[in-house]
Amino acid sequence: MKLWDKGFEIDGRIERFTVGKDRELDLMLAPFDVLGTMAHVRMLASRGLLSTEELSLLLPELQAIYRSAEEGNFVIEEGIEDVHSQVEFLLTQKLGDVGKKVHSGRSRNDQVLVDIKLFIRDRMIRTVGKTVTLFRTLQRRSEEGKDILMPGYTHFQVAMPSSFGLWFGAYAESLVNDLSVLRGAWDVVDRNPLGSAAGYGSSFPLDREMTTRLLGFSGMDVNSVYAQMGRGKTERIVASAYASLAETLSRFAMDCCLFNSQNFGFITLPASLTTGSSIMPHKKNPDVFELIRAKCNRLMAVPGMIRSITSNLPSGYSRDMQETKEVFFPIFDLMDDILDITDFAVSSMELTEGLMDNPLYRNAFSVEAVNREVLAGVPFRDAYKKVGKEIMDGTFSFDGSELAHTHEGSVGNLCNDRVARRMEEVVGSFPLERVRSALDSLQSCK
């Protein structure tokens, strides 16, 4: 079944090429296609384009299809082109001519647009939850390690004293900004394209404000042409936000690979989190962090891939946009898996105490020594030269127990509570309750 069928057969090779993996990927959109249809038929009934009786027949059937999709039982049958065709086919199979009316005032173009936005919104909510879980684990480990010193590095050279509290806390705060970026992407997603039809609106007296409200959107993509131009752009913006999160996690994974090595020995992974070598019996490899790094790098490539598909398209719909699904849809499962496994690994790793007692890191206290001289009244440049000479002469020493950093965000004053409040503010700015309430009401038969 094809919604555009006009009685002629398409060559099988052309059909296979043009459909590609679309039917497989469309299964991910099934529950959201049903939600969009629920909103659309309610709106049609409010405009007199469906009768009350017809609406009362359609809504229970749509509920049943939605449950089937949520439970993983929805299939796109052989010979049926896409999820939109399958939903309409099931309605027509059960309700006859009533099922044939649900496409009035719609195009597959605005159907897939609203499906994708509802899908993205749902998956973003899931990612926010998993990011918050990792954030809390990082903050917990930060508090546990706040008094355990470790060397900080610049240019891959020993620089100044740091702490595990500072290290874990840095990545926790980075997640706050990543969710701020994701919140900005949410605003782009949270606009209703339904009613733009094929990109030029409809002569039906549609009520786009009503479908916007029913689907829990904050507003609509007002201009019908722009609603279509937003496809690809929306995905790229969301993928860019996910790439920001991936960058944080990739960098953390790189640190863990280094810090777990024998040359550093800052952290230790339990044997159960490592893998071995087929030839070297001593190996305990941090493959988990190497794969986190690689998968995050894949995620960071996605915005560029989407841009390369859509950047030179004209206004109006082009089939090129279909190709964005294949590179875009997988980012959500991939990111959620990364967040879960990172949280597990962070919870399990062991921290090495007494690192700064190693003479290898003695010079990391040079700035502390300079600052002590300055506080005693020595001009900074003179103090710098004095300590520098001691280092050159091999006579420099400093008791690390005297370390005293008091300013906000330093070794001795992490201010994790401030960062936690920021995270609460960012997460609280996502209008999750509005979305839940709207979709719960939409799925009722009243």
Express each pLDDT in 180-232 by its tens digit. Answer: 999 999 999 999 999 999 999 999 999 999 999 999 999 999 999 999 988 89
Last residue of a domain, one of 66, 101, 136: 101
Distances (CA, A) of 71 to 27, 30, 31, 36, 65: 12, 11, 10, 18, 10
Q: How far is CA 337 from the centre of its chain?
A: 11
Residues 59 and 147 in one domain: no
Identify whether residues 72 and 127 lie together within a single domain: no
Report pLDDT for 73.
93
pLDDT in tens, 307-333: 999 888 888 888 788 889 999 999 999
Among 11-25, 273-287, 327-341, the minimum mean pLDDT is found in 11-25
Asked if residue 243 and residue 174 are part of one domain, the reply reads: yes
Cα angle: 427, vertex 432, 437; to 5 degrees: 160
Q: What is the pLDDT of residue 393?
A: 93
Which residues partner with 415 through β-bridges? none
Residue-number span of the structural domain to which 262 is assigned: 108-201+221-357+415-442
Mean pLDDT to the nearest integer, 20-41? 88
pLDDT of 281 > 80? The answer is no
Measured in residues, the chain has a length of 446
Q: Kindly report the pTM of this predicted structure.
A: 0.92
The set of catalytic residues is 155, 277
Chosen domain end from 84, 101, 118: 101
Judge whether 32 lies within some domain.
Answer: yes
User: Residue 211 falls within a domain, yes or no?
Assistant: no
- Are residues 169 and 285 both part of a single domain? yes
pLDDT surpassing 90 at residue 150: yes
Of 88 and 19, the structure prediction assigns the larger pLDDT to 88
pLDDT tens for each residue of 49-69: 999 999 999 999 999 999 999
136 and 37 together in one domain: no
Q: So what's the pLDDT on residue 6?
A: 47
Span 136-160, average pLDDT: 96
User: What single letter denotes the amino acid at residue 427?
Assistant: V
pLDDT (0 to 100) of residue 4: 41
Within this chain, do residues 148 and 254 fall inside the same structural domain, yes or no?
A: yes
Summarize pLDDT for 88-121 with one digit per residue, the tens: 999 999 999 999 999 999 999 999 999 999 999 9
Whether residues 229 and 252 fall in one domain: yes
The per-residue DSSP string of 178-232 comes to: HHHHHHHHHHHHSEE-TT-TTTT--SS---HHHHHHHTT-SEE--SHHHHHHHHH
Which of the residue ranges 16-20, 119-123, 183-187, 376-380 would you say has the lowest mean pLDDT?
Answer: 16-20
Name 131's Cβ contacts closer than 8 Å, sequence gap at least 6: 175, 178, 179, 182, 245, 339
What CATH number is attached to the domain comprising 259?
1.20.200.10
Is the model's pLDDT at 14 over the cut of 60?
Answer: no
Q: Is residue 5 part of a domain?
A: no
- Of 429, 330, 434, 431, the C-alpha closest to 119 is 330
Using CB atoms within 10 Å of the CB of residue 337, give its burial: 0 to 12 exposed, 13 to 18 middle, 19+ buried.
middle
Whole-number Å distance between alpha carbons of 56 and 42: 10
Q: Is 1 inside any structural domain?
A: no
Q: Mean pLDDT over residues 135-158, rounded?
A: 96
**What is the chain's percent helix, strand, coil content, to nearest 5?**
65, 5, 30
- Residue where one domain finishes, among candidates 72, 101, 130: 101
The one-letter amino acid at 350: E
pLDDT (0 to 100) of residue 405: 85
Total count of domains within the chain: 3
* pLDDT score recorded for residue 406: 86
The mean per-residue pLDDT over the stretch 122-129 comes to 97
- Tell me the pLDDT tens digit for each residue of 408-445: 988 889 999 999 999 999 999 999 999 999 999 998 86
- Both 269 and 375 in one domain: the answer is no
Tell whether 226 and 326 lie within a shared domain: yes
Strand duo 191-192 + 157-163: pairing: unpaired
User: Do 278 and 365 fall within a single domain?
Assistant: no
pLDDT at 98: 95
Does the pLDDT at position 273 exceed 50?
A: yes
Decide if 318 is inside a domain: yes
**pLDDT in the model for residue 13:** 64
Q: How far is CA 42 from the centre of its chain?
A: 32
Q: Is residue 407 part of a domain?
A: no
Dihedral, 175, 180, 186, 187 alpha carbons, nearest 10: 180
In a domain? residue 7 = no
* CATH number of 30's domain: 1.10.275.10
Same domain, 128 and 249: yes
**Confidence tier at 33 by pLDDT (50, 70, 90):** very high
Give the side-chain half-sphere CA count within 13 A for 77: 8
List, in sequence order, every beta strand (DSSP E) within 239-386: 267-268, 350-351
Q: Does some domain include residue 215? A: no
User: Among 116, 112, 97, which Cα is nearest to 51's?
Assistant: 97
Lowest mean pLDDT among 21-30, 31-40, 200-209, 247-256: 21-30
Residue 234 sits in the same domain as residue 332? yes
| Nearest alpha-carbon partner for 350 in 164, 136, 139, 161 | 164
Rg (CA), the chain: 28
